[in-house]
Amino acid sequence: MRSAMQASDAPSGVRRGTFRRVLGFARPHRAKLVVFLLLTVVSAVLAVSTPVLAGRVVDTIVGGRDVSVVVWLAVAIAGIAVVDAGLGLVERWQSSRIGEGLIHDLRRVVYEHVQRMPIAFFTRTRTGALVSRLNNDVIGAQRAFTSTLSGVVTNVIQLGLSLGVMFTLSWQVTALALLLLPVFVLPARRMGSRMADLQREASTLNAGMTTQMTERFSAPGATLVKLFGRPEAETAEFTDRAARVRDIGIRTAMATRWFMTGLTLVSALAQALVYGLGGYLALTGHLAAGTVVSLALLLTRLYSPLTALANARVDVMTALVSFERVFEVLDLKPMIAESDKPREVPDGPVSVEFDDVRFAYPSADKVSLASLESVATLDARGGEEVLHGISFRAEPGQLVALVGSSGAGKSTIASLVPRLYDVDEGAVRLSGVDVRDLSFDSLRGAVGVVTQDGHLFHDTIRANLSYPRPEATEEELWDALRRARLDHMVESLPDGLDTVVGERGYRLSGGERQRLTIARLLLARPRVVILDEATAHLDSESEAAVQVALTEALRGRTALVIAHRLSTVRAADQILVVEQGRVVERGTHTELLAADGRYAELYHTQFDEAPATEPLVV
């Protein structure tokens, strides 16, 4: 077991310290483990008792003794069989409790850890690969505490007891049987590393196949495939991935079979030696016939555990590879962490201040894993500054608009307020408190965001709407829908609030989906509102209705609005023109038009192309 954990003979063995971490996860289940191990000890003792009793039955028959002795010995063997069967059921129940409890703990820890990862982690990671860690690898790790652990303990005890009893019966026969022991040990050491390599490769291939299914079976993915007419190509790619999974499965099965066939053959040869030498000693009067039978039966209790223990190395290596893949995710430290002594956002209206902020998106090695991106090595690019000395202040209740070319850095600026990313230099403050010093709960309660592609879960309208405030009353839910001009649509649905919106809300129209995300914001009642192209996907009629709702929602709140259509932010208290990560102009709509700079250029270009819409008024 220890050599399997260290895997010093395996070029791709698991890391040192993995076993110690595994024990850390097992610690909460130690009471159940103790009971489980005691059950396996009793079961092992019973398994060795049967061959000894069988030998006595033969000696009793050969010696022509009282029939009642044979009967009582038979009753004892039957009783042991019944007790052993009952113990087997209890042992299985206990092992399933341990195994399923471990799966639950691992999944909870990984899920909780992944939720703390920065947005950059999710923009790089393939969803299917991450899901595979929570499913396939966690289940693979669980096997170490159920079948593998129980098998090792039971077989070690059976092996020790069998050897002890066999030596007392005939040390000559036992020594001869053990001559073939090295044939078991040597293949096991080589097979462990081989199976670890195969398991690691199989995990990677399964994760790739899961990723393709996850992406292509989502509503946007399926739509893309149909729009560009590539179902045949997709099927061919999936077939290729599935074929590689099939091939690695065949290789694993055959490697295991060759290994087990060799061990079984050696066991059969050892049994033949026992029958030969034992029979000779019995015929020459050196052994009783019953002793030969006991030795032959005990040999199965000897080589069966040896075979299982030799295979246990393979099982342990396989399980540890799964553990290692889970730990690989847990070892990826979140870049954004809560302060040791978090503060709360001060009561009352909130100001937003950017003080000489500089920011560069993190490189891949800081936020991701090559195995989660399905690449050989991580992209080394990154670290180039994209925001250069951004400074501005939005007073409580003011509306500050960010405008500029696509890719200028507007959304990046907005993402720093709720700490989707952290600044590299400078500071972002809410009412004078650096956001890095605020508690996560306080920050999330103070800042609300509506993106241009508001996400909805595959759940009911009620669940999606009440996500930020699960305790909201029915009246509050309908009030939020009414203010988002969505109440009549929801009332017309057969199931009302309990209507399932589908994955990402695809059962709703684009305008309905966006208005539902705005209703969710209204229900959350944040003191700072960030709108990132919140009306980008709305038609003219829906946009006009939502603009009225947003005007009401923004009243009395500090707002940071990213707008492509400049006509919607003409009434902003301050407009910042962002280009190439810098604020190149700032002022009111009238002041910027009079300056005849970049803002005036953007404004006139849009009005030459399309009619204006109603501005946001606060």
Residue 318: name the closest of 147, 143, 189, 185 by CA: 143
Residue whose structure tokens are 């889970």: 326
Tokens at 259, concatenated: 């290994």
Query: Which range has the worst mean pLDDT, 154-168, 369-383, 496-510?
Result: 369-383
Q: Quote the pLDDT of residue 2.
A: 45
Average confidence (pLDDT) over 181-203? 66
Tokens at 130, concatenated: 């991450």
Helices (H) and strands (E) in the chain, counts: 24, 10
What is the C-alpha to C-alpha distance for residues 553 and 251, in angstroms, rounded to an integer?
Answer: 62
Instruction: Give the SS3 label for residue 389.
Output: strand
Q: What is the pTM of this model?
A: 0.70
Tokens at 398, concatenated: 């003011």
Where are the strands (E) in 352-394, listed by range?
A: 352-360, 385-394
CB 162 within 8 A of CB 245: no
Among left, alpha and beta (phi > 0; psi -120 to 50; other), residue 431 is left
Q: Quote the pLDDT of residue 190.
A: 63
CB 48 within 8 A of CB 298: yes
CATH class of 16-330: mainly alpha
CB 13 within 8 A of CB 318: no
> For the range 14-23, what are the long-range contacts, defined as Cβ-Cβ under 8 Å and sequence gap of 24 or more?
14/196, 14/317, 14/320, 14/321, 14/323, 14/324, 15/324, 18/320, 18/323, 18/324, 18/327, 19/320, 21/323, 21/327, 22/141, 22/144, 22/320, 22/323
Query: Which range has the worst mean pLDDT, 111-115, 378-382, 549-553?
Result: 378-382
Residue whose structure tokens are 């489980």: 36
Q: What angle do CA 66, 72, 75 make, to 5 degrees?
A: 150
Q: What angle do CA 269, 270, 276 make, to 5 degrees?
A: 90
Task: Encode pLDDT of 91-117 as tens digits.
Answer: 878 877 887 787 788 888 888 888 888
What is the C-alpha to C-alpha distance for residues 213 and 360, in angstroms, rounded to an integer?
Answer: 33
Integer distance in angstroms from the first to the last C-alpha of the chain? 70
Task: Encode pLDDT of 405-459 as tens digits.
Answer: 888 999 999 999 999 899 999 999 999 999 999 999 899 889 988 887 777 888 8
Q: Quote the pLDDT of residue 107.
A: 81
| Beta bridge partners of residue 425, listed in sequence order | 358
Give the model's confidence band at 354: pLDDT under 50 very low, under 70 low, under 90 confident, else very high. very high
What is the C-alpha to C-alpha distance for residues 426 and 358, in angstroms, rounded to an integer?
Answer: 6
Average confidence (pLDDT) over 228-250? 80
What is the C-alpha to C-alpha distance for residues 205 and 207, in angstroms, rounded to an integer?
Answer: 5
Position 493, amino acid: L
Q: Quote the pLDDT of residue 12.
A: 45
Compute the chain's Rg from CA coordinates. Answer: 35
Instruction: Give the SS3 label for residue 249.
Output: helix
Instruction: Give the SS3 label for residue 558.
Output: strand
The DSSP bridge pattern shows strands 399-404 and 574-579 to be parallel
What is the C-alpha to C-alpha distance for residues 134 and 360, in angstroms, rounded to an integer?
Answer: 31
Average confidence (pLDDT) over 53-82? 80
Q: Which residues contact 531 (CB under 8 A, 6 or more apart)?
A: 449, 450, 550, 559, 560, 561, 562, 563
Position 131, amino acid: V
Examine the pLDDT at 402 and tell me if it is beyond 80: yes
Tokens at 593, concatenated: 């038009």
Q: Work out the mean pLDDT of the chain and round it to a whole number.
A: 79
Residue whose structure tokens are 């030998």: 55
Average confidence (pLDDT) over 286-313? 72
Task: Provide the residue ranges of all domains of the chain, joining segments of one domain with +.
Answer: 16-330, 352-370+380-454+528-609
| Beta bridge partners of residue 438, listed in sequence order | 343
Query: Which range has the worst mean pLDDT, 131-140, 540-549, 592-601?
Result: 540-549
Query: Which range has the worst mean pLDDT, 79-83, 231-235, 244-248, 606-610?
Result: 606-610
| Beta bridge partners of residue 529, listed in sequence order | 448, 559
Residue 519 vs residue 207, higher pLDDT: 519
Instruction: Give the SS3 label for residue 262.
Output: helix
| Beta bridge partners of residue 399, listed in sequence order | 559
What is the C-alpha to C-alpha distance for residues 171 and 163, in angstroms, rounded to an integer?
Answer: 9
Average confidence (pLDDT) over 253-260? 75
Q: Quote the pLDDT of residue 246.
A: 84
Task: Encode pLDDT of 266-275 as tens digits.
Answer: 767 777 777 7
Task: Encode pLDDT of 9-61 as tens digits.
Answer: 333 445 666 777 777 777 888 888 888 888 888 887 887 787 777 777 777 77
Q: Quote the pLDDT of residue 146.
A: 63
CB 445 within 8 A of CB 526: yes
CATH class of 352-370+380-454+528-609: alpha beta
Which DSSP letter does residue 343 get? B
Neighbours of 599 (CB within 10 A): 23
- The dihedral over CA atoms of 373, 379, 385, 390, expressed in degrees to the nearest 10, equals -10
Phi, psi of 333 (to 5 degrees): -75, 135
Q: Quote the pLDDT of residue 602.
A: 87
CB 198 within 8 A of CB 253: no
Query: How far lies 399's CA from each of 147, 350, 396, in Å?
Result: 62, 12, 9
Task: Encode pLDDT of 487-525 as tens digits.
Answer: 888 888 888 888 888 766 667 777 788 888 888 888 888
What is the C-alpha to C-alpha distance for residues 565 and 276, in angstroms, rounded to an integer?
Answer: 95
Examine the pLDDT at 343 and tell me if it is beyond 90: yes
Query: How far lies 251's CA from each of 52, 144, 196, 246, 255, in Å?
Result: 41, 22, 13, 9, 6
CB 516 within 8 A of CB 484: yes
Give the model's confidence band at 567: pLDDT under 50 very low, under 70 low, under 90 confident, else very high. confident
Give the model's confidence band at 241: pLDDT under 50 very low, under 70 low, under 90 confident, else very high. confident
Query: Which range has the worst mean pLDDT, 294-303, 470-479, 553-562?
Result: 294-303
Give the model's confidence band at 574: pLDDT under 50 very low, under 70 low, under 90 confident, else very high. very high
